[in-house]
Amino acid sequence: MNPQRKISKLSRAIKVLHVVGARPNFVKVAPLMREMSKYKQKFEQKLVHTGQHYDEEMSKLFFDDLGLNEPDIYLGVGSGTHAEQTGKIMIEFEKVCLEEKPDLVIVAGDVNSTIACALVAVKLHIPVAHVEAGLRSFDKTMPEEINRLLTDQITDYLFTTCKDANQNLIKEGITRDKIFFVGNTMIDTLLQQAEIAKKSMILENLGLRDNDNLKRYAVVTLHRPSNVDNPTVLEGILTALNELAKEIPVIFPAHPRTIKQIRNFKLQEMINYEENSKAVGVKKASRKIFAIPPLGYLDFLRLMSEASVVLTDSGGIQEETTILGIPCLTLRANTERPITTTAGTNSLVGNDSQEILGRALDVLKNRIQRKKIPKHWDGKAAVRIARVLRKKAKAGF
């Protein structure tokens, strides 16, 4: 650590700012805030929502599902180009840091808010902790990869989900004393919420479960620019999914930007889009993709946990399906979470239409078996992080 940034031992509770910018960040931060709240004499916590991705109804639903209080500070930066968004976050977060004078800033994941707030804190000589450090896809065309690389280079405490991440950081010149293999806070949340999610009525609302009878079905999520910004690629993926829909219902909680691109490319006839997931069941969507708006955390967890197969280009879903034992086909050429392919239930299939369909049909015939649960994916990652931070706080960071 830069010696200029070392703070003296504190007799008071240290002030911690947790930064979230998108819904996956909520899932990663919730268990850590819950664990740190057990030590009120040690930590004074505030939650900062940058507003990078913000839908009032969806954000409230996620906060309610995860037991999070409303953000203490909301920056409201909204959308824009990567440069515009990152710049707006930095300008607004600097004001917050100057007013709040935190002793520690905690960022999570790999969104623009992650690098923007880490960079602001570093320049103000405020220690930074990165939850989910060290993940690498080795694909610098992905903006998330740039965010991951840069954030880890300027972070003081790097909390990793797997040993692969540790090795990535060491190869990049990060000293071992900064790296802490703690496990996966997303899995903490999943394990904490799994029983509650069973009470969700999403399967009944969608007509997938009738009393004790459960239909086989697939779940799809799609939002990466490489998949949704090219009309030929997007049409090919939708073609494969419609072929799959002839075998089993395909449920598609669709990102608003993905729906926008489907409409822009005049591909809306390839899906059945229902504005209200509680309005009708999948009978309306027979033999065609059934698209609905994004779901809350508990509804999506229930939907995913009973699926025959999940097809996604998301990162976190690769991890969640590994724990749930659900076959996952990742519609990308690479992943920053390779442990899900070596120890979990995930396979990389790319975005070729025939490959997607062939692999999906194969999974329906020969279900992928989880090899093992990755080490420290046991629901105690937040406990380990809080333990490290208590120790560091006692030493004055």
Residue 82 designated active-site: no
| Residue entry with tokens 């120790």 | 391
DSSP helix/strand/coil, 215: coil
Q: Which residues pair with 52 in a beta bridge?
A: none
Structure tokens at 282: 């999948």
Positive or negative, the Cα torsion across 311, 150, 17, 380?
Answer: positive
DSSP helix/strand/coil, 14: strand
Dihedral, CA of residue 19, residue 23, residue 24 and residue 28, to nearest 10: 50
- Which of the residues 18, 82, 223, 255 is marked catalytic? 223
- The conformational region for residue 200 under phi > 0 = left, psi -120 to 50 = alpha, else beta, is beta
Instruction: Give the span between the Cα atoms of 10 and 396, in whole angstroms.
Output: 6
Considering only the C-alpha atoms of the chain, give the largest distance between any 2 of them, rounded to a whole number of Å. Answer: 65
Contact 263, 257 (CB under 8 A): no
Q: At what angle do helices 23-36 and 297-305 cross, to 10 degrees?
A: 100
In sequence order, what are the residues at sequence separation of 6 or more whose Cβ sits closer than 8 angstroms to the Cβ of residue 356? 237, 240, 241, 311, 329, 331, 349, 350
- Tell me, rounded to whole angstroms, the distance of Cα 287 from its chain centroid: 30
Q: Going edge to edge, which strands form the sheet with 218-220? A: 271-273, 289-292, 250-253, 218-220, 309-312, 328-330, 346-348
Instruction: Give the span between the Cα atoms of 341 and 137, in whole angstroms.
Output: 13
Q: Which residues pair with 128 in a beta bridge?
A: 105
Q: Which of the residues are catalytic?
A: 223
